[in-house]
Amino acid sequence: MELFRLEHKKLWRKTSVRVSVLLCFAYVVIFGGFLTYQWFEFGSSPDLVSHSFDGYSLIRSQQEQAASYGGVLTDEAFQQMVADYQAADASGDKVKMDIIDWKTMSLYLNQLYPDLKNDSDIRPVYYYVDTEKLTGFYERRLASLDTFLHSQGQTGEEGAMLMAMNDKVEEPFRYEWVRGWQYVLGTSLADLGTIMAVFVAIVLAPTFSGEWHNNTAPLILTTDGGWRRLALEKVLCGLAFAVELFMLMAVGGITAQLVYLGTDGWDMPIQTMKLLAVAPMNMLQAEIYEYAFTLLGVIGFAGVVMLLSALVKSNFLSLLFSLAAVYGPMMVANYLPASLQGVLGMLPLVGDASDIFRTNTFHIFGKYIWSPYLLIIVPVLIGLVCIPFAIIKWSRRQQA
């Protein structure tokens, strides 16, 4: 324990570590959290280009407007939403138009009511659609889901499994303001692991290669417990740092979310955000999953980075290989068959936490498994498997 404490203190005393943590916090929490809510994303946009510094008040107005539709997404509530927007447009009330959740409204109309689109009118369909024709919302959603699964070749046993999941989704949907959750689950948390990977790699890449770089072998020989004991403490210290960095980002992100969005809408089904999602999850459950996905992915990635650090003597190569381990697969994935993309997605921090909104599956031992189940388990297992090899490899090289 004493050795771990010393290694942990040594790690956090490094200037590169402190700067990395500060930059990561600034990017994720300050820019991706507070400034995004207040300005970049949720501030009003009078000229459709720039944004005003009024996100907090505008979010509150949008939440109040969404609450006026009764908290349940029925045909009547959707008709009223579209009618309110058309009335605001007719009267030139730009403020009212801005607080109606028109992005979500547009998504629903384009996906469920394509037959009501007028190709001769270049405006978005919600400007002119006859609201009385906006009926059969849930029947149209089910038909769209069935069509989508058939287009993806997801029929038979696979299709039956996915439709069985969808059968557990409660209708009619709880409805409150959706756009805030779209940002949290579709952008902020979905990108968190990708951002953290840079800073985890910078900090942990020198874990073992740095000992060669600093020529500390004579000093290490004087430590109690031998090479393997020291290697184990270094690995535990690296894992602890990965968890600590994640907790710092998570606490900051959740704080910003609670300040600006509050808890409104946590019990909405994720289908209000992605109509063709089949998972019977609400927004809070989805957020817990995405945070767990990132935490386990960061732990797995830390294990991979420390193995690479034990394999080479150069800090530069260790960092380069670590970054390539996460960003390389992302770069080539789109050029590979779907089956190989799925395999690459199980590498630490390469997969996508937002897979909970999709219908991707893996066919293993004759059974179809929904992809998010494996995407949350396999990456951390890969990292844990790497750890003993990192300890053994570095110990042998030091002794040689």
Question: Does residue 213 have a pLDDT over 90?
Answer: no
Q: Give the mean model confidence (pLDDT) for residues 331-353.
A: 93
Say yes or no: 369 and 248 in one domain.
Answer: yes
d(CA 305, CA 57): 43
Q: What is the pLDDT of residue 229?
A: 86
114 contacts 140 by C-beta, under 8 angstroms: no
Note whether residue 381 is domain-resident: yes
Note whether residue 94 is domain-resident: yes
Among the candidates 143, 174, 205, a domain finishes at: 174
Q: What is the pLDDT of residue 210?
A: 77
Q: Which residues contact 163 (CB under 8 A, 6 or more apart)?
A: 145, 146, 149, 278
Say yes or no: 258 and 312 in one domain.
Answer: yes
Q: Which residues contact 14 (CB under 8 A, 6 or more apart)?
A: 203
Note whether residue 96 is domain-resident: yes
CB atoms within 10 A of CB 371: 20
Say yes or no: 162 and 202 in one domain.
Answer: no
Say yes or no: 27 and 91 in one domain.
Answer: no
d(CA 283, CA 104): 15
The amino acid sitting at 396 is R
Say yes or no: 209 and 329 in one domain.
Answer: yes
Say yes or no: 360 and 249 in one domain.
Answer: yes
Note whether residue 31 is domain-resident: yes
d(CA 199, CA 282): 31
Among the candidates 131, 147, 174, a domain finishes at: 174
What is the model's pTM? 0.95
Q: What is the pLDDT of residue 2?
A: 85
At 282, phi and psi to the nearest 5? -100, 180
CB atoms within 10 A of CB 90: 9
Average pLDDT, the chain: 93
Label residue 80 exposed, middle or buried (CB < 10 Å: 0-12, 13-18, 19+).
middle
At 229, phi and psi to the nearest 5? -65, -45
**Both structure tokens of 312:** 């080479």
Question: Does residue 334 have a pLDDT over 80?
Answer: yes
Question: Does residue 218 have a pLDDT over 50?
Answer: no
Note whether residue 288 is domain-resident: yes
Note whether residue 327 is domain-resident: yes
Parent domain of 119: 67-174
Q: What is the pLDDT of residue 1?
A: 79
Q: What is the pLDDT of residue 221?
A: 47
Note whether residue 352 is domain-resident: yes
Say yes or no: 384 and 285 in one domain.
Answer: yes
Among the candidates 174, 201, 229, a domain finishes at: 174
Question: Does residue 237 have a pLDDT over 60?
Answer: yes
Note whether residue 35 is domain-resident: yes
d(CA 181, CA 370): 23
Query: Tokens 């600006």 label which residue?
Result: 260
Say yes or no: 32 and 71 in one domain.
Answer: no
**Both structure tokens of 219:** 């000093």
Q: Give the mean model confidence (pLDDT) for residues 351-356.
A: 96
Count of domains for the chain: 2
Q: What is the pLDDT of residues 118-138, one digit of tens each?
A: 999 999 999 999 999 999 999
Say yes or no: 208 and 356 in one domain.
Answer: yes
Question: Does residue 304 have a pLDDT over 90?
Answer: yes
Say yes or no: 103 and 251 in one domain.
Answer: no
Q: What is the pLDDT of residue 219?
A: 47
Say yes or no: 210 and 235 in one domain.
Answer: yes
Q: What is the pLDDT of residues 30-58, one digit of tens each?
A: 999 999 999 999 999 877 678 899 999 99
